[in-house]
Amino acid sequence: MKIAVFVKHVPDVAEADLEVAADGRTVKGGELPFEMNEWDRFALEEAVLVKDSLGGELTSFLIGDEAAEESLRRCLAVGADRAVRVWDDGLAGANPFALTAAMRGAIGEDEYDLILCGAQSSDDGYGLGGPLLAEALGVPSVALVNKMKVEGGKVLVTRELEGGWGEEVEVDLPALVTIQTGINEPRYVSILGIKKARKKPIDLMDAVSVGITAERLATEKEKLSLVGIETPAVGEGAEILEGSPEEVAAKCLALLKEAGGVL
């Protein structure tokens, strides 16, 4: 089986106090540490599990500059057989349409039985990359998958719906699946494993290699434009209810009635 997984190198903002940059469309992130996108870690693990179960070859793809190779090294350490990095300065800050064009070009004429992506990225959060790539490849796709099994030329999945519901779907291979967090337990990668992965080659593809001209890139970028971002409005603060439990309960009930929450 021929498997591909796409991963992204994103800033770790879990404990960061973010500020909007002067351009109003980006976040100040010069000092932020970077790591593999959380959803992509689960997609990578699932890809390795399929490979270990059915055999075959796993290729990991990433669009990013040289610093992003850290995430590709993790792919190699976990079990990917090949790593491919795609980069062109014109792709910096590119929207999902431009990035999808680059991803499609990176695959080229290779035919993969299964392509896995994270359901979304923690930086942009569009959730468009996987479905757009499936459309470009002309293969079926299933999003937000939290259970998966490849069997007999098909992939059987359960995808997450709202309200805790799940939907079971069966699609023929080749197919693309976007992975939700929690589908598995990503394995620990040792320091030794990372060091060994640093000795493995990473294939580099530029804009010419993936068939992206400046005109094509400009056209794709016009399909979606980020107008601006802003921090959430600061509220008036919380009202602290004081007194005995009975007094606090009575005050809480009065506030709920005042707001129309209780008749």
pLDDT of 6 higher than 90: yes
Rounded to 10°, the helix 129-137/96-107 angle is 50
CA distance 142 to 170: 9
pLDDT value for 30: 64
3-state secondary structure of 263: coil
Report the share of the chain in percent with pLDDT over 70: 98
Over residues 49-101, the pLDDT tens digits come to: 999 999 999 999 999 999 999 999 999 999 999 999 999 998 988 899 999 99
Residue 29: pLDDT band (50, 70, 90) is low
pLDDT of 106 higher than 70: yes
pLDDT of 115 higher than 80: yes
Over residues 181-192, the pLDDT tens digits come to: 999 999 988 888
Residue 263: pLDDT band (50, 70, 90) is low
Residue 128 region, left (φ>0) first, then alpha (ψ -120 to 50), else beta? alpha
Closest CA to 217 of 227, 228, 206: 206
Q: Which two tokens stand for residue 177?
A: 């699946």
Q: Please, what is the end-to-end C-alpha distance for the chain in angstroms?
A: 61
pLDDT of 177 higher than 80: yes
Written in H, E and C, the secondary structure of 137-205 is HCCCEEEEEEEEEEECCEEEEEEECHHHCEEEEEEECCEEEEECCCCCCCCCCCHHHHHHHCCCCCEEE
DSSP secondary structure string for all residues of 59-113 = EEEEES-GGGHHHHHHHHHHT-SEEEEE--GGGTT--HHHHHHHHHHHHTT---S
Contact criterion met (CB below 8 Å) for 121 and 157 = no
**What is the average per-residue pLDDT within 29-33?**
73
3-state secondary structure of 230: coil
pLDDT value for 163: 86
Look at 239 and 135; give whichever has higher pLDDT: 135
Which residue ranges make up each domain of the chain? 2-221
Residue 72 dihedral angles phi and psi, to the nearest 5°: -70, -35
**What is the average per-residue pLDDT within 220-234?**
84
Cβ-count burial of 181 within 10 angstroms (0-12 exposed, 13-18 middle, 19+ buried)?
middle
pLDDT of 112 higher than 90: yes
pLDDT value for 195: 84
Domain 2-221 has CATH 3.40.50.300: no
pLDDT of 200 higher than 80: yes
pLDDT value for 111: 95
Which of 51-60, 208-217, 228-237 has the weakest average pLDDT?
Answer: 228-237
Contact criterion met (CB below 8 Å) for 82 and 56 = no
Look at 229 and 173; give whichever has higher pLDDT: 173
CA distance 55 to 52: 6
Mean pLDDT value across the chain: 91
